[in-house]
Structure 1
Amino acid sequence: MTEPVSWRADGVPQSARFDDIYHTETGALAQSRHVFLGGCDLPEAWANRPQWLILETGFGLGLSFLTTWQAWRDDPERPRLLHFVSIEAHPVGADDLMRGAAAYPELVGLAEALAAQWHGLLPGFHRLAFDEGRVLLTLCVGDVQPMLRAQRFEADSIFLDGFSPQCNPDMWSPETLKAVSRFARVGTGIATWTIARAVRDALAQNGFKVEKRQGLPPKRDCLRGVFAPEWTVRRRGALPERIDMPGHCAVIGAGLAGAAVAASLSRRGWRVTVLDAADHAAAGASALPVGMLAPHVSPDDALLSRLTRAGVRATWTELARLLEHGTDWAATGVLERRSDGDVRVPAGWQADGPNESFPADATSLRHARAAWVRPRALVGAWLREPGIDVRHGAQVSRLERAGAGWRLVDAAGAMLLDADRVVIAGGIGSATLATALPLQPVRGQVEWGHAASGLAALPATPTNGDGHLIARVPDTNGSALWLTGATFDRDSTDLGPREADTGVNRVRLARLHPEAAAALATAFEGGRTHTWVGVRCASADRRPLVGPLDETALPGVWVSTAMGSRGLTFAALCAELLAAHWHGEPLPLPTTLSRSLDTRRL
């Protein structure tokens, strides 16, 4: 449930939970500019930097984020990437976000973009992306100390913006401020509206030099500071890498995984060359005519459920940004039929309206935040991002050291490319170079065709369960494309169609949607269907692999692969996770979830 906000007669929002106001009568915009931006010397401090990382405690109505975003937009010397990480235990509703911004015309458009992504805010991390993926908000929903433990990066600025220490003492406790100090590097600025002695003392004890400065009426003072400890700071474990001068990266593979990595790195200033053995992009498992984007749901909100939820959000943002709705993808939702009858969802999941998954009937779940997608369209859009060069017919057989970087060589020993770093993202083809990883081929066969008549029997909403059915996908000839399947044949790389597998897919379709099976029977029997076969790449534990291949023997060589049958779900998320590791950025997932995808888990 979203947090209710009480709006006083003078327009000031108030929290009943904490019996405190969200901002003073002077207004949130003025407070954010004076206290937080001014207290951290922004926007001057971020001028011409490749990225700027901000940590905030207390998202509230989001007005400090919106004000910072607007300042970034208005600054011709802005950093290439703005990361804003905010912790909020009790998110308000989208309507209150909009009402909070309504008094400030310069923020209304930004607030509308924020509200459009303001959905499904269960406990955990939620990555929201704006302005072509160059403004990234990581909203950490939960109590402040667990959320601080679940994230790790070096912040450039810190905003302390919770309710008052008297009303919300946990947000300002010595333990919380000590945890905040772990995000600081020498020179990190910190700002807050409170000058409470206990807060000043705790910040000083943790290495911040703070000073009072003139406040914004009705407050006489506010606080600013800088992290400048008089002792040598020793962190537990190595700090994340932070590349400030991107170079040239070679990405092996032009499918969903490789294209997503190329796009994420190009946004961070890398020059990217994508090498693919085929004569066109999305030639392997990513060549599926149409695919399904839907979360996995379990009553206990298990690991795969949390991962797929984050993955669907990451992909959804890219679909809305890059593709034409109704042609390349459609937000149709997905109906999931469960043969075991278990349609339970995590507590509170249904409570927030149409943006969640919820029981549709006694045996089905409805995922409103789900879609059908043409994978090739998404791959093509990613590969057209600035700074990306694609070379087809380039089969990489081995990697050789070339100074501090790598030389990519084909089977004849000819050099294909020199690069500073390499990402192997070629699906099952990754096994040629990533021999140390337990990669398993999984053959899959689907049946598809076009329906010019009989559409009434085909569902408008994609359906999955034991197999899946996607229908009524608009095609260029005016008919509707449909697709059903798929089989799972482990340890097989056979790309030939199998009549027996066609029979398996028809039996599954009959169980999944009897009316559609009956309507398509004449197409199957009359030979008016097509068979598509692809080979997926899976890991031993059926989770993607993102991370270094061998840090000692192959420094600078990473992989993003093993996405199984969930390439649409995981490609964008894994690419952003890889880029975050390289650039010392806030992670799009809590550390425990990011480790569950890391190559080093094996």
Structure 2
Amino acid sequence: MSDDSIPGNRLVETRDGSHTVYSPQFDQHYHNPNGAVAESRYVFFEQNGLAAELGKADSLTILEVGFGTGLNLMLLLDEYLTQHATAEIDYYSVEAFPLDPETAADFNFGKHLDRPESLHLVTDLFQNLSRGMNHVDLLDTLRVHLFCGLFDNFNPDHVHADYIFHDAFSPDVNGELWTGDVFKKIKRFSADNVILSTYCAASKARGAMAWAGWKVARCRGALGKREMSLAALEPDRLGELERINEERLARRYEKEDF
């Protein structure tokens, strides 16, 4: 997929020692420069309860918006192997601009994993990607469905995600993945008990979620960020977390009052 990968990406070491990638196309890093692995673990495995659920579940479906470096999948695989989990997992992800295999081959994430083999199982995915849906079994029980293309064109059948990783570039530079219509579409791929996690705490993004019918809560952010967001379709899924005023923010979003 060399014609569709982003030219000029460069590896950058974050403050926890793990790599991220700087994208000249979006003028942003793929991860928090204060710590790529640390933030991803915090946002997508700890605050949403996935790490605790992984060893108990019989089956899970995860949908990720923004495959990027594949770090979230590496961390999932690392956690899965470390816990000796047995759940059947389907991992759906969407990436419009996959990284080139040469960049992925230089990632140092293995030094930050309990099961370093998770790195190469994921980075090997970058070798043979084609446009559209790519299906790969990382384990007998962990199936990856990686869609290379725009989220607008992502329309798989029978996806009912228990966990959503919303990990696109920020709304400032990638606003098309933070709209109310996008969050409505994500609802179509969600189970009733779904929980969505994202590093983003922008009012407009939260308003888009609320407008689309999500219940939204604020959480303490990772690594110097004041807040992050969790969202669910069932309010009980958010427990005792402090909720935003969904009705007010949805009205503001509809009026473009941001």
Q: TM-score, normalised by structure 2?
A: 0.80
Choose from 102, 106, 114 the match for 1:106: 114
Contact 2:39 2:223 in 1 (8 A): no
Instruction: Give the whole-Å Cα distance in 2 for the aligned partners of 1:225 and 1:41.
Output: 13
- Equivalent in the alignment of 1:221: 227
Runs of 4+ in 1 over 3 A off after TM superposition: 8-12, 105-108
C-alpha distance after superposition, 1:350-392 (max 9, x if no partner): xxxxxxxxxxxxxxxxxxxxxxxxxxxxxxxxxxxxxxxxxxx
The secondary structure found in structure 2 opposite 1:40 is: coil
Structure 1's 91 and 16: CA in aligned 2 closer, same or farther, altered over 3 A? same
The secondary structure found in structure 2 opposite 1:119 is: helix
Instruction: Give the whole-Å Cα distance in 2 for the aligned partners of 1:104 and 1:96.
Output: 18
- Equivalent in the alignment of 1:68: 76
Contact 2:60 2:89 in 1 (8 A): yes
Task: From the CA coordinates, give the structure whose radius of gyration is larger.
Answer: 1
Instruction: Give the whole-Å Cα distance in 1 for the aligned partners of 2:93 and 2:224.
Output: 26
Choose from 114, 123, 136 the match for 1:115: 123
How far residue 51 of structure 1 moved from its aligned partner, in angstroms, is: 1.0
- Equivalent in the alignment of 1:3: 6
Contact 1:207 1:229 in 2 (8 A): no
Counterpart code for 1:203: M
Determine if the alignment matches structure 1 residue 195 to structure 2 residue 191.
no
How far residue 137 of structure 1 moved from its aligned partner, in angstroms, is: 1.2
- Equivalent in the alignment of 1:54: 62
The secondary structure found in structure 2 opposite 1:166 is: coil
Counterpart code for 2:22: Q
Counterpart code for 1:139: L
Contact 2:73 2:122 in 1 (8 A): no
Contact 2:184 2:213 in 1 (8 A): no
Instruction: Give the whole-Å Cα distance in 1 for the aligned partners of 2:22 and 2:219.
Output: 26
Instruction: Give the whole-Å Cα distance in 1 for the aligned partners of 2:124 and 2:13.
Output: 28
Instruction: Give the whole-Å Cα distance in 1 for the aligned partners of 2:152 and 2:115.
Output: 30
* Unpaired stretches in structure 1, ≥5 consecutive residues: 231-602
Q: How does 1:271-310 map to 2 (within 5 A)?
A: none
* Unpaired stretches in structure 2, ≥5 consecutive residues: 237-258
- Equivalent in the alignment of 2:90: 83
Q: How does 1:137-152 map to 2 (within 5 A)?
A: 137-147=144-154, 149-152=155-158
C-alpha distance after superposition, 1:534-579 (max 9, x if no partner): xxxxxxxxxxxxxxxxxxxxxxxxxxxxxxxxxxxxxxxxxxxxxx
Structure 1's 8 and 47: CA in aligned 2 closer, same or farther, altered over 3 A? closer
- Equivalent in the alignment of 1:31: 39
The number of equivalent residue pairs is 227
Instruction: Give the whole-Å Cα distance in 2 for the aligned partners of 1:151 and 1:99.
Output: 35
Contact 2:217 2:231 in 1 (8 A): yes
C-alpha distance after superposition, 1:192-213 (max 9, x if no partner): 0001112111212223211111
Determine if the alignment matches structure 1 residue 92 to structure 2 residue 96.
no
- Equivalent in the alignment of 2:141: 134
- Equivalent in the alignment of 1:243: none
How far residue 40 of structure 1 moved from its aligned partner, in angstroms, is: 1.9
Contact 2:181 2:212 in 1 (8 A): no
The secondary structure found in structure 2 opposite 1:14 is: strand
Contact 1:160 1:190 in 2 (8 A): yes
- Equivalent in the alignment of 2:28: 20
How far residue 152 of structure 1 moved from its aligned partner, in angstroms, is: 3.7
Instruction: Give the whole-Å Cα distance in 2 for the aligned partners of 1:129 and 1:14.
Output: 29
C-alpha distance after superposition, 1:368-424 (max 9, x if no partner): xxxxxxxxxxxxxxxxxxxxxxxxxxxxxxxxxxxxxxxxxxxxxxxxxxxxxxxxx
The secondary structure found in structure 2 opposite 1:195 is: coil
Structure 1's 12 and 115: CA in aligned 2 closer, same or farther, altered over 3 A? closer
Q: CA RMSD in A?
A: 2.1
Q: TM-score, normalised by structure 1?
A: 0.36
Contact 1:126 1:140 in 2 (8 A): yes
How far residue 22 of structure 1 moved from its aligned partner, in angstroms, is: 0.5
